[in-house]
Amino acid sequence: MSKAISLTLGLSLGLFAIFSTGCATVNRSREEQIQKYSRMAELNRMMIAEDIDKYLFMERPSRLSEWHITGY
C-alpha cells in the first residue's frame, strides 16, 4: 500500500511539474524577431531625431510623441 501511494504521489508530482510550465515563453521565428528589432530600431531613430529637433529649436519639452507605438 505504501509503495502504491508513493508511486501515485511521484507520478502526480511529475505530471504537475511537466504541465505547470505550459507555454511560459512566446516562440517567435527568426524573421519575426528581425522584424521586431528593426521596428524598435526605427522607432528609436525617429524619437532620437525628434528629441534633437526639440532641443535645437529650444521648444518647450513635451513627453508626448507623434509616433504611434504599439506593444511588442
Domain-embedded: residue 64: no
Query: For the chain, how many structural domains are there in total?
Result: 1
d(CA 67, CA 60): 18
Residue with grid cell 528609436, as numbered in its chain: 44
Top pLDDT among 27 and 43 is at: 43
20-29 pLDDT per residue, tens: 766 655 677 8
- Using the CB atoms, write b or e for 12-51: b if 16+ within 10 Å: eeeeeeeeeeeeeeeeeeeeeeeeeeeeeeeeeeeeeeee
Domain-embedded: residue 29: yes
What residue numbers bound the domain in which 8 lies? Answer: 2-56
Q: What pLDDT does 46 receive?
A: 86
